[in-house]
Amino acid sequence: MSSKIKPDTHITFIGGGNMGRALISGLLANGCKADQISVVEANTATAQNLQNDFKVQIIHKLDSIAFDFAQNNVVVMAIKPQDFNIVAKGLAPKLKHVSAPSPLVFSIAAGIRLADMSRWLEQTRCIRAMPNTPALIGKGITGLFAKADISSEDRTLAETICNAVGQSIWVSDEKLMDAVTAVSGSGPAYVFAFLEAMQSAGEKLGLDAQSSRKLAYATLEGAIQLAQNSSEPASVLRERVTSKGGTTAAALDVLNQDGWHVILEKAIAAANERGKVMGDELGKS
C-alpha cells in the first residue's frame, strides 16, 4: 500500500457482502483498526459473521447511522447496483452537517455513474471504483475515476482502500470505467472459462480430471508470473514458445483459424456496451 489509513478516519461500509468483507479484511491486515470501521448490514447472519471475524461495529439499519463529523468519514457503497438509488436517497440526509465536510462516498457498484450518485446523495465528494473478485484473496485490481475537483488527499484515501486488496489504476474519463469493467471486472470469468476449456480438453485426451485440472491451473499461473516478471510483451513470449512446425504452432493455428482473438475482442466489447446500457438504465430514476 502506498499509505496507511489515518487514525482520524472512519470508514462506514454500506453492505457487508463478499467485496465489502474483502475490503474490511484487507484494511485490517494493513493497519486499520477495527474501531475505525462500521458496517451497515441488515442480514443477521452476515452481520454476525462480520462482527465475530473482524470485531467491527455493526449497524443493522440505515436509519441508525450517526456520523461523528469530528472525524474524516468515508462511506463505501458496497451494495448491488439495483439497490443503489433507494439506499443513496435514504443516506443523503445523514451526510449533511452545518459546518463539517460531508463524508467521502466511495462506490464499488458497477454501472453507477458519478452524476447519478451525486444527484441521489445530494453531494459531490464522490469517487467511483470497479474492483474485481480476486480482491477476495488480496490479488484484485480496481479501476478508479474521480472528477477534477476531488482533492489529492481523497484520491490517496480511495487508492489506499483499494490497494488493501491488490492494485489500482486511475482512468482519465468516466466512459473508460465501462472498459475497466469489461476487461478486469468481468475478466476473471473469461479466465475461468479458459481454465474450464483447458481442463476439459485434457480429459478428452485421456487425462483424469485431477491431473488435467492441475496441469491447466499450474500452466496458467506459471505463464502469468513469467509474463509479469518479463519486460517483453506477451506477443514476444508467445513467439518464443512457438517452434515452427511444432505442437504449439499446431494449436495456435487452430485458434487463429477459428478467430479466437477476434471473438475475445468482440466479447469484451459486448461487456463494455452492456456497461453503458446499464449506466443509462440505472440512472433513469
**No. of helices (H) and no. of strands (E), the chain:** 11, 8
**Sheet with strand 126-130: strands edge to edge:** 57-59, 37-40, 9-14, 72-77, 104-107, 126-130, 140-145, 166-170
What's the CA gap between 3 and 93, in Å, rounded? 31
| 142 in any annotated domain | yes
Give the max Cα distance, the chain: 74
pTM of this prediction? 0.92
Q: Which residues are CB-neighbours of 276 under 8 A, at least 6 positions away?
A: 178
Cα→Cα distances 273→111, 171, 279, Å: 11, 18, 10
User: Do 29 and 84 belong together in one domain?
Assistant: yes
Answer with the one of 128, 146, 177 that is the final residue of a domain. 177
User: Do 51 and 155 belong together in one domain?
Assistant: yes
Q: Provide the β-strand partners of residue 39.
A: 13, 58
CATH of the domain at 41: 3.40.50.720
What burial class does residue 174 get, using C-beta atoms within 10 Å of its C-beta: 0-12 exposed, 13-18 middle, 19+ buried? middle
Answer with the one of 150, 177, 204 that is the final residue of a domain. 177
| 277 in any annotated domain | no
Structurally, how many domains does the chain consist of? 2
Answer with the one of 177, 198, 231 that is the final residue of a domain. 177
CATH of the domain at 202: 1.10.3730.10
Closest of 69, 61, 123 to residue 92, by C-alpha: 123
- Under the phi-then-psi rule, with left for phi > 0, alpha for psi from -120 to 50, and beta for the rest, what region is 29? alpha
| 2 in any annotated domain | no
| 246 in any annotated domain | yes
| 155 in any annotated domain | yes
What's the CA gap between 189 and 193, in Å, rounded? 6
Q: Which amino acid appears at position 128 of this protein? A: R
User: Do 192 and 173 belong together in one domain?
Assistant: no
Domain that holds residue 262: 187-271
Q: What is the pLDDT along the chain (285 residues), one digit of tens a residue?
A: 447 899 999 999 999 999 999 999 999 999 999 999 999 999 999 999 999 999 999 999 999 999 999 999 999 999 999 999 999 999 999 998 878 889 999 999 999 999 999 999 999 999 999 999 999 999 999 999 999 999 999 999 999 999 999 999 999 999 999 999 999 999 999 999 999 999 999 999 999 999 999 999 999 999 999 999 999 999 999 999 999 999 999 999 999 998 999 999 999 999 999 999 999 999 987
| 111 in any annotated domain | yes
Helices (H), 103-185: 114-121, 152-163, 176-180
Q: Which amino acid appears at position 89 of this protein? A: K
